[in-house]
Amino acid sequence: MMSQKKYMPLSALDNDQLWLFATILFHGQTSREWLTAKSPWGKTKTDLIARSLSDKGILATSTEESLSKGRNPLFYTANPCLGYFLGFTSNIPYDRLVLTDFNGDVVSRGEYPGSLPLSNPLTSLRRNIRRFAQEQQVSLDNIWAIGGHVPGILEDQTGVVKKVLRQPQREELDFKHALEEAFSIPVWMESSRILTCLKEYRFSLLESQKTFVNVHISLDVGLALFINGKSYRGADGFAGEFGHLSVPESQKPCYCGNIGCLVTHLSSWGVCADVQAHLENGTISQIDPRALQGPDYDEGIEHIIDLALQNDKLSINAVEEVGIKLGRALANVITLFNPELLIIHCRFTRAGELFTAPVRQMIRKYSVTQALQKLQIEFVPIVPYTVPQGGAILAMRRLIKQIAAERNIFF
Ligand SMILES: [Zn+2]
């Protein structure tokens, strides 16, 4: 695949140029001072290489945010015209797609009927990608790599989803190889718990070498553990299946085959089902039961949050219950790993203290106190297209790392 014409601008670089370009890509907008300090060559040679990359149209330079004294540009980014990366999430009830440029900025986005509920999701996703590219008038030849997410249990070595969310009849799903065959573009698959992190924190946090935990709660529930800035994946790549920790006393069946998994209590569909059961038992509430029946359970959650903020008791209880179960499970994670930062991506963040207070309270109550001394907790709301954008950024990072590794340059 790397022999294709679109990869020529990078294959034509020498090792020093490639190192400098990749360093800028992974760092984001990069100042000349920072780059000089980071490079092994000193100021003159670093400037020379950067200038050769600008001349080739690979780097863009700007002086906007600078205290420039004139001649030399102070900031470097990738030239956005180089090409695109495509990110997708295949979900119920929609597939969401984005195109980003080399700097990870979204150029366009689109939503299409979901592939997962269909009997042939591979055909459907291929069709959606073709349609998206056509509508955006972007040739597939200008898309350098694809990165995506399917909710379920992912084997990261092969990119195969071993258990698809809420589809127990579907044994595994191999979007990676189906898309690579169809489009002749390299494809990488990743969990949403990693992709949200790439989108939000791709530059500052990943390069900081911090020990931190990123949790993502939506249709699925996952946790990524980063130790000294590197993600820890376990022996087979399944570490962080936080959603399948068992909740004591719970008997709810899970799509993974076990009972009482956290995901059946915290996910959008799990919470909608719990609230539905309360309504059926006669609990008085303003909740409209039709909003809870899917297939877009996230909309049901937004409805519950709206009513919780208007003081509907059942809705408040639902939000608090999620906070309590989540906080208690996270207390175990904190006691085990003593992270300095805990990031929680969750729709319920919008409910404010109704959600964050019980999470904090349970963490304080059940963690080993000494592991809390440096801990910062950051609550992030879920914004549509965060995951597919993370997919496109993942594709960029993996592709550049692969090209560099072929020349024995490692990041
Ligand atoms: Zn499970």
Q: Is residue 409 part of a domain?
A: no
Which domain-ending residue is among 81, 109, 136? 81
User: Ligand 1 (ion): which residues have CB within 5 A?
Assistant: 244, 254, 256, 258, 261
Same domain, 207 and 280: yes
Q: Are residues 187 and 210 in the same domain?
A: no
Tell me, yes or no, whether 112 and 256 share the same domain: no
242 C-alpha vs ligand 1 centroid, how far in Å? Answer: 9
Distance 252 CA to ligand 1 centre (A): 10
User: Do residues 343 and 231 both lie within one domain?
Assistant: yes
**Residue 70 confidence (pLDDT) above 80:** no
Cα-to-centroid distance, 250 and ligand 1 (Å):
12
Kindly give the distance from the C-alpha atom of residue 263 to the centroid of ligand 1, in angstroms, as a whole number. 7
Ligand 1 centroid–CA 74 distance in Å is: 51
User: How much distance in Å is there from the Cα of 52 to the middle of ligand 1?
Assistant: 53
Q: Is residue 411 domain-resident?
A: no
Neighbours of 3 (CB within 10 A): 7
Which tens digits make up the pLDDT trace of 89-148? 998 789 999 999 999 999 999 999 998 888 888 999 999 999 999 999 999 999 999 999
**22 and 160 housed in the same domain:** no
Note if the bond before 121 is cis, omega within 30 degrees. no
Average pLDDT over residues 357-376: 95
Q: In terms of domains, do 87 and 73 share one?
A: no
Is 149 inside a domain boundary?
Answer: yes
Q: Print the domain residue range for 350.
A: 198-380
143 within a domain of the structure (yes/no): yes
Q: How far does the centroid of ligand 1 lie from the alpha carbon of residue 31, in Å?
A: 46
- Domain boundary among the residues 81, 101, 124 is at 81
Point out the least confidently predicted range of 229-243, 256-270, 326-340.
229-243
**pLDDT value of position 203:** 58
CA distance linking residue 339 with residue 67, whole number of Å: 37
**298 and 261 together in one domain:** yes
Distance (Å, whole) CA 308 – CA 54: 53
CATH number of the domain where residue 48 is located? 1.10.10.10
Separation CA 48–CA 44 (nearest Å): 6
Q: How far is the CA of 148 from the centre of ligand 1 (A)?
A: 22
Mean pLDDT in the chain?
90
Same domain, 111 and 224: no
**CA 44 to chain CA centroid, nearest Å:** 38
Domain assignment of residue 407, yes or no:
no
Distance 285 CA to ligand 1 centre (A): 30
Residue 67, pLDDT above cutoff 70: no
Distance from residue 254's CA to the centre of ligand 1 (Å) = 5
Ligand 1 centroid from CA 90, angstroms: 20
For the CA atoms of 162, 165, 169, 175, what is the dihedral angle to 10 degrees?
-50
- Are 66 and 16 contained in the same domain? yes
In a domain, 406, yes or no: no
Q: Tell me, what CATH number does 170's domain have?
A: 3.30.420.40
Contacts of residue 232, defined as CB under 8 A and 6 or more positions apart, other chains included, come to 225, 226, 239, 240
Q: Which of 24-28, 126-130, 264-268, 358-362 has the lowest mean pLDDT?
A: 24-28
pLDDT reading at 287 higher than 80:
yes
- Taking the centre of ligand 1 as the mean of its atom positions, its distance from the CA of residue 259, in whole angstroms, is 7
> What integer is the mean pLDDT of 181-192?
94
CB-based burial, 379-402: b 16+ in 10 Å, e otherwise: bbebeebbbbbbbbbbbbbbbbbe
Q: What is the distance of C-alpha 352 from the center of its chain?
A: 23
Provide the pLDDT confidence category of residue 341 given band limits of 50, 70 and 90.
very high
For the stretch 174-178, contacts whose Cβ atoms lie closer than 8 Å and that sit 24 or more positions apart, written own/partner, are 174/122, 175/90, 175/121, 175/122, 175/125, 175/148, 175/150, 178/122, 178/125, 178/126
**Per-residue pLDDT band at 66 (split at 50, 70, 90):** very low
Q: How far is the CA of 260 from the centre of ligand 1 (A)?
A: 7
Could you give the number of structural domains in the chain? 3
Q: Averaged over 389-399, what is the pLDDT?
A: 94
Give the highest mean pLDDT range of 23-27, 166-170, 291-295, 320-324. Answer: 320-324
> What's the 101 CA to ligand 1 centre distance in angstroms?
36
Q: Is residue 287 part of a domain?
A: yes
Whether residues 350 and 216 share a domain: the answer is: yes
% residues pLDDT > 70 (the chain): 95
d(CA 94, CA 151): 12
**Among the ranges 51-55, 115-119, 196-200, which has the highest mean pLDDT value?**
51-55
pLDDT higher than 70, residue 200: no
Distance 390 CA to ligand 1 centre (A): 25
Task: Compute the distance from residue 255 Cα to the ligand 1 centre, in Å.
Answer: 6
53: nearest Cα among 80, 6, 18: 18
State which of 44, 65, 81 marks the end of a domain: 81
Q: Is 182 in the same domain as 321?
A: no
C-alpha span between 239 and 231 (Å, rounded): 10
The CA 310 to ligand 1 mean position distance, Å, reads: 33
Domain membership flag for residue 309: yes
CA of 246 to the centre of ligand 1 (A): 8
* Centroid of ligand 1 to alpha carbon of 405 (angstroms): 37
Ligand 1: distance of its center to the CA of 163 in Å? 10
Q: Both 143 and 61 in a single domain?
A: no
Paired tokens of 52: 């050769």
